[in-house]
Amino acid sequence: MKPLILVTNDDGITSKGIAVLIEVMRKIGEVFVVAPDSPNSGMGHAITVDSTIHVKKNKIFKNIEAYECSGTPADCVKLAKHHFLKDRKIDLVVSGINHGLNSSISVIYSGTMSAAVEGAIEGIPSIGFSLDDFKYDAEFTHIKRWIKRITEKALANEFPANVALNVNFPAYSENPIKGVKICRQTNGYWHEEFDARKDPHGRPYFWMGGDFVNREPNAEGTDLHALSQNYVAIVPVHYDMTAHNTIKELKRWKL
């Protein structure tokens, strides 16, 4: 029996990235799609709790049952698990392919990875795929075989419990991808800048910009270092955010 694969993303159901991901997944298993009806980049792990969620069937993918959802990427996984597929076992959740990296601290803000993490919370093996290319018409041909290989390995092996894989790919170039590196998350952050502006009615508003700051630009073993060397970077992500190594130190405070 073919594995049941749930596909979602954060760029929206009409993005090129999700179409490519579905193209690869349908060669591996039975595909079921629940994805946002509009872009949800930077949504993080938000869920819809104070308004309605609208869902409707979408025939955009030939011979694939697909639904577009007004909610967040995490909402999409929850709806699939507890409504559409409530009587079936989901073998794998895949999210993406995101237009743009979700390396380093960006994993916290990413709707793509939050969908994968939601799958992990539900106890489902989950993978988020992202490409270092923000263009709407990004080139994905060079990563299809790597996505297929990683997915097949994930299905064939014992998947780490409650873990999601954060997979980032270098952008297309004339140089072929060298291979895969299992990495840790790069220590970095976004330095934000807020540009104060006024709308046509004279009302003030802000536009957020800024730059990424890499605290360890040459550190081997990190996702950004692997990508800079033209490798696929895979970081295992856990939703347990406890700083375990700090517990003993805090106990010394004798609160």
Task: Give the annotated binding-site residues.
Answer: 10-11, 41, 98
Give the residue among 62, 168, 167 at the shortest CA–CA distance from 125.
167
CA distance 91 to 18: 18
CA distance 244 to 90: 31
Give the residue among 175, 184, 167, 186 at the shortest CA–CA distance from 98.
167
User: Alpha-carbon torsion 175, 127, 162, 4, what sign?
Assistant: negative
Asked if 104 contacts 214 with a C-beta cutoff of 8 angstroms, the reply is yes
User: Alpha-carbon torsion 94, 95, 99, 105, what sign?
Assistant: negative
**Positions at the binding site for a divalent metal cation:** 10-11, 41, 98
State how far Cα 90 lies from the chain centre.
Answer: 18
The region, left, alpha or beta by phi > 0 then psi within -120 to 50, assigned to residue 144 is: alpha
CA distance 28 to 194: 45
